[in-house]
Amino acid sequence: MRKNIVAGNWKMNCSLPEGKKLASEVIHMVQDEVQNNAQIILIPPFIHLTGIHSLIGSSSNIFLGAQNCHQESNGAFTGEVSAAMLVSCGASHVILGHSERREYFHETDELLASKVKFALDNGLTPIFCCGEKLEVREAGNHENLVRSQVDEALFGLSEEEIQKVVIAYEPVWAIGTGKTASAEQAQEMHAFIRNQIASKYSQGVAEEISILYGGSVKPENAREIFSQADVDGGLIGGASLKSRDFTNIVKAFD
């Protein structure tokens, strides 16, 4: 059963005290105000995971995620963090393939396929990001590009495995730019991805997978985007750093 999800990717922002303040505010506002049962995922930098995990405590709808993990279990990989380490800090989710990792750290779909598999094998839910750059959309190649990202990184998974993955469609031209895809553009791409999964696996499998939209989601546009038939929530960057904005985005599901 597809779940509604709002995930906040803090990226490389917030000292530990700032992160704890932000998380506490979100947790309290969500508890006091939110009337829906969307899953909320807080995704701070690695070093804040344990601190934020203790604030989340036993909340049943707030989860902890990481922004990346390595594709090996352990070893001489200075500066890297394994999936098992994330689990030991309380993380249940991990973003994989964010466009910033693809762009600045040269992550390929082949590499991401191994990260996704490794995350799943360690009990983490991957939030797999896909999406096209502006020039690709302008050339009309966005569907082909997203098809190959999903195909190469996810379609080696079994039917059981892929149902545990969350997909985030994030047009790169909308990330951090203030320029949001229209609700129609988002719906079109989400339906495209869901159909692709249905063709490879089955309609039943495709219906199990939450597909989030990411790219300049704000309290003002969240309701319209989230109301689209194939949009199951959002991956939120900038607005996740403001507790009021992030909570109001979650409330778009009320």
Residues near ligand PEP (CB under 6 A) are 9, 170, 175-176, 214-217, 235-239
Residue with tokens 């807080």: 42
Q: Give the residue with the Cβ less far from ligand PEP, 100 or 230.
A: 100
Q: Give the residue with the Cβ less far from ligand PEP, 44 or 214.
A: 214
Q: Give the residue with the Cβ less far from ligand PEP, 65 or 215.
A: 215
136 sits in which H/E element: helix 134-138
Whole-number minimum distance, CB 203 to ligand PEP, in Å? Answer: 28
Say if CB 102 and CB 149 are below 8 A apart: no
Catalytic (active site) residue 98? yes
Residue nearest to ligand PEP (CB): 237
Say if CB 147 and CB 91 are below 8 A apart: no
Whole-number minimum distance, CB 177 to ligand PEP, in Å? Answer: 7
Q: Which amino acid is at 48?
A: H
Whole-number minimum distance, CB 78 to ligand PEP, in Å? Answer: 26
Q: Give the residue with the Cβ less far from ligand PEP, 82 or 216.
A: 216
Residue 121: closest CA among 168, 59, 72: 72
DSSP letter for each residue of 59-95? -SSEEEEES---SSSSSS-TT---HHHHHHTT--EEE
Q: Give the residue with the Cβ less far from ligand PEP, 124 or 235.
A: 235
Q: Beta strands of the chain (E only): which ranges?
A: 5-9, 39-43, 62-66, 93-96, 125-130, 166-169, 211-214, 233-236
The rounded distance, in Å, linking the Cα atoms of 237 and 15 is 16
List 132, 142, 170, 190, catalytic entry:
170
List 98, 107, 142, 190, catalytic entry:
98
Residue 252 in tokens: 């778009």
Whole-number minimum distance, CB 9 to ligand PEP, in Å? Answer: 5
Q: First-to-last CA distance in the chain? A: 19
Whole-number minimum distance, CB 111 to ligand PEP, in Å? Answer: 19
Where on the phi/psi map is residue 132: left (φ > 0), alpha (ψ -120 to 50), or beta?
Answer: beta
Residues involved in catalysis: 98, 170
